[in-house]
């Protein structure tokens, strides 16, 4: 068997370069084993109480719940729950676990459900940033996207503060290029792929004001800058500042022109309309005199995301080779492959967020018997933003369930499984 992994990974930042690994393999019809299918897992948490539920799978006799520490998967634990379809429990503050469910019957064990995680607050007291964000009287700004830096969103570009030619941002040292592009007048906040855009990622008002413009009829799946027609909600603050929430998803506006909003109100959803290469929010602030305002330089956030943030796996994608059979495997991937014939190859794609020079992203592929087929990593050459890494798995020559680990600094942060089926 021949593995050429080191030479087959490509990376790029901010979609500057798209490179796919192409492996020649024709699609072969898939046959399913007689084991049960995979359930869909749903997690909800309120305070310290976690509720897990999953969909019933036909032919299943029971379900096994697997759990492992988040984000560092040290050891996998499991509990057989019989025919139960939901569990609920109160856990200590700060508990964080990956969870996944497998169905079983007399024929064997099915594939994992989606593997998800929960992370309970380490204390039930809100942080000062949360208090500021929730207080409409507080003049500081709340963050416009939900979730966590590096998992749900990442900052791909700051405001370029160098007049004319040249790039710098609020934090870049003199002579060092900033995380921006020349002439960028806003803050770009990226989500991983179009999958997340399709699911719907809300955009929330950073401060109260009056909605002065709503555009939402333009196409929202741009992957290059071919049109300036973007969907946007524009809010004017009491001090006259105009805030543009740009590139929104088509028909996603949650407000109307003339409407008054308060901090935290839903305005619309993240999209890729207008001059946009991938789904993201372009947040631009202008003074009444039309001067660009940089909310980072001017310290306008309640709880500004740190400029340097630990590397993480933004998301993982798993496709059957060759990648070039898909229209846009990186930005707009189809659903992850769940089953491939014996002898197929895979194309795992890792989206990374943040990180610094000498951090590493990696991939581990384990065979059904637990042995290792792939264990490889790549070092970031410089401070990262949104990066994409494409791997090559070689031929999958053992039937059963294979497990793909997506790693950040050697720690599994994302897991996917695929069943290899003998014809």
Report in angstroms how near the CB of residue 157 gets to Zn ion at its nearest.
6
Nearer to Zn ion, 277 or 377 (CB): 277
Maximal CA-CA distance, the chain: 72
Report in angstroms how near the CB of residue 50 gets to Zn ion at its nearest.
37
Nearer to Zn ion, 190 or 346 (CB): 190
Q: What is the spatial distance between Cα 310 and Cα 150, in angstroms, rounded to a whole number?
A: 8
CA distances in angstroms from 27 to 85, 318, 322, 339, listed in the order given: 35, 15, 9, 12
Stretch binding Zn ion (CB under 5 A), from 4-12, 57-65, 90-98, 186-194: 186-194
Report in angstroms how near the CB of residue 280 gets to Zn ion at its nearest.
7
- Token digits of residue 183: 């002439």
Report in angstroms how near the CB of residue 422 gets to Zn ion at its nearest.
49
Residue with smallest beta-carbon separation from Zn ion: 282
Q: What is the spatial distance between Cα 192 and Cα 332, in angstroms, rounded to a whole number?
A: 10
Stretch binding Zn ion (CB under 5 A), from 178-186, 217-225, 255-263, 374-382: 178-186
Nearer to Zn ion, 232 or 317 (CB): 232
Q: What is the spatial distance between Cα 84 and Cα 56, in angstroms, rounded to a whole number?
A: 9
Query: Rounded to the nearest 5 degrees, what angle is found at the Cα of 293, between the Cα atoms of 357 and 204?
Result: 80
Report in angstroms how near the CB of residue 329 gets to Zn ion at its nearest.
24
How many residues of this chain interact with Zn ion, rule: CB under 5 A?
A: 3
Residues 6+ apart with CB under 8 A from 89: 49, 50
Report in angstroms how near the CB of residue 271 gets to Zn ion at its nearest.
13
Nearer to Zn ion, 6 or 225 (CB): 225
Q: Long-range contacts for 215-218 (Cβ within 8 Å, ≥24 apart)?
A: 216/248, 216/250, 216/251, 216/252, 216/253, 216/268, 217/250, 217/251, 218/250, 218/273, 218/274
Stretch binding Zn ion (CB under 5 A), from 277-285, 326-334, 355-363, 409-417: 277-285
Nearer to Zn ion, 112 or 230 (CB): 230
Nearer to Zn ion, 8 or 157 (CB): 157
DSSP class of residue 116 equals: E
179 near Zn ion, judged by CB under 5 A: no
282 near Zn ion, judged by CB under 5 A: yes
- List 188, 196, 294, 320, residue binding Zn ion (CB under 5 A): 188
Nearer to Zn ion, 38 or 157 (CB): 157
CA distances in angstroms from 333 to 154, 316, 326, 395, listed in the order given: 19, 10, 8, 21
Q: Which residues of this chain interact with Zn ion, rule CB under 5 A?
A: 186, 188, 282
């Amino acid at each position: 068997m021949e593995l050429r992994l080191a030479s087959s990974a490509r990376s790029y930042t901010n979609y500057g370069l798209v490179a796919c690994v192409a492996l020649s393999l024709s699609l072969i019809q898939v046959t399913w084993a007689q084991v049960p299918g995979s359930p869909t897992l749903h997690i909800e948490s309120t305070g310290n109480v976690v509720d897990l539920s999953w969909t019933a799978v036909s032919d299943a006799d029971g379900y096994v719940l697997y759990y492992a520490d988040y984000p560092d998967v040290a050891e996998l634990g499991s509990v057989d729950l019989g025919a139960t379809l939901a569990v609920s429990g109160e856990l200590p503050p700060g508990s964080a676990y990956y969870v996944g469910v497998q169905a079983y019957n007399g024929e064997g064990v099915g594939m994992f459900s989606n593997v998800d995680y929960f992370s309970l607050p380490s204390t039930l007291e809100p942080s000062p940033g949360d208090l500021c964000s929730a207080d409409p009287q507080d003049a500081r700004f709340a963050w416009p996207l939900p979730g966590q830096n590096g998992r749900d969103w990442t900052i791909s570009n700051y405001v370029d503060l160098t007049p004319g030619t040249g790039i710098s941002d609020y934090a870049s040292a003199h002579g060092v290029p900033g995380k921006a592009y020349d002439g960028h007048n806003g803050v770009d906040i990226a989500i991983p792929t179009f999958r997340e855009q399709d699911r719907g990622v809300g955009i929330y008002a950073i401060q109260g004001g009056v909605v002065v413009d709503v555009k939402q009829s333009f196409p929202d799946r741009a992957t290059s800058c071919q049109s300036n027609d973007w969907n946007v909600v524009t809010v004017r603050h009491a001090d006259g500042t105009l805030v543009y929430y740009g590139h929104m998803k088509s028909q996603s506006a949650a407000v109307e022109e003339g409407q008054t909003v308060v901090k935290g109100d839903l305005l619309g959803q993240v999209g890729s309309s207008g001059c946009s290469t991938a789904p993201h929010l372009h947040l631009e602030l202008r003074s009444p005199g039309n001067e660009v305002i940089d909310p980072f330089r001017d310290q306008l956030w309640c709880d500004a995301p740190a400029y340097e943030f630990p590397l993480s796996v933004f998301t993982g994608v798993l496709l059957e080779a060759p990648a070039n059979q898909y229209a846009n495997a990186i930005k707009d991937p189809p659903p992850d492959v769940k089953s491939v014939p014996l002898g197929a190859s895979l194309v795992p794609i890792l989206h990374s967020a943040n990180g610094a020079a000498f951090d590493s992203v990696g991939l581990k592929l384990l065979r059904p018997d637990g042995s290792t087929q792939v264990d490889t990593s790549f070092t970031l050459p410089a401070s990262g933003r949104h990066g994409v890494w494409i791997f090559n798995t070689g031929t999958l020559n053992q039937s059963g369930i294979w497990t793909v680990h997506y790693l950040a600094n050697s720690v599994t942060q994302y897991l996917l499984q695929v069943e290899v089926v003998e014809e």
